[in-house]
Amino acid sequence: AQSVAQPEDQVNVAEGNPLTVKCTYSVSGNPYLFWYVQYPNRGLQFLLKYITGDNLVKGSYGFEAEFNKSQTSFHLKKPSALVSDSALYFCAVRAARSGAGSYQLTFGKGTKLSVIP
């Protein structure tokens, strides 16, 4: 079974400061890891993914994520937060070799990011 933990329900950061949203995962074999963002009353928007290769992955809107295999973590980061980054962020995982070719993702509970002006 695979699982994702987002240990913080909410993260508050001042505008212009760096932000980090934490994610740890558990999966059999190599992971495919994803970050999504959700604005109120909207669907999930894909931010970035890790498949293989460089541990630092760059994505949309200036976000990046660092894959750490030994710590089974995939933290989302941004050097300078904007008020418009305030939203709900989800980390998700699936095994690189999923059964029956399934693309099912397991999501964390989400972290609400509030960027304070």
Partner 1 sequence: KAGVTQTPRYLIKTRGQQVTLSCSPISGHRSVSWYQQTPGQGLQFLFEYFSETQRNKGNFPGRFSGRQFSNSRSEMNVSTLELGDSALYLCASSAYGQGAGELFFGEGSRLTVL
| Contacts to partner 1 by CB under 8 A | 32, 34, 36, 41-46, 49, 51, 90, 94, 99-110
Closest among 102, 111, 93, 87 to 50, alpha carbons compared: 93
5 vs 15, which CB is nearer to partner 1? 5
83 vs 96, which CB is nearer to partner 1? 96
Closest among 22, 27, 19 to 5, alpha carbons compared: 22
42 vs 79, which CB is nearer to partner 1? 42
20 vs 106, which CB is nearer to partner 1? 106
> Nearest distance from residue 117's CB to partner 1, in Å?
27
Hey, what are 1's tokens? Answer: 């079974």
> Nearest distance from residue 88's CB to partner 1, in Å?
10
Hey, what are 61's tokens? Answer: 């809107």
> Nearest distance from residue 42's CB to partner 1, in Å?
6
> How many Å apart are CA 61 and CA 113, to the nearest integer?
15
> Nearest distance from residue 10's CB to partner 1, in Å?
14
Q: Which residues are registered as beta bridge partners of 90?
A: 36
Hey, what are 108's tokens? Answer: 């964390």
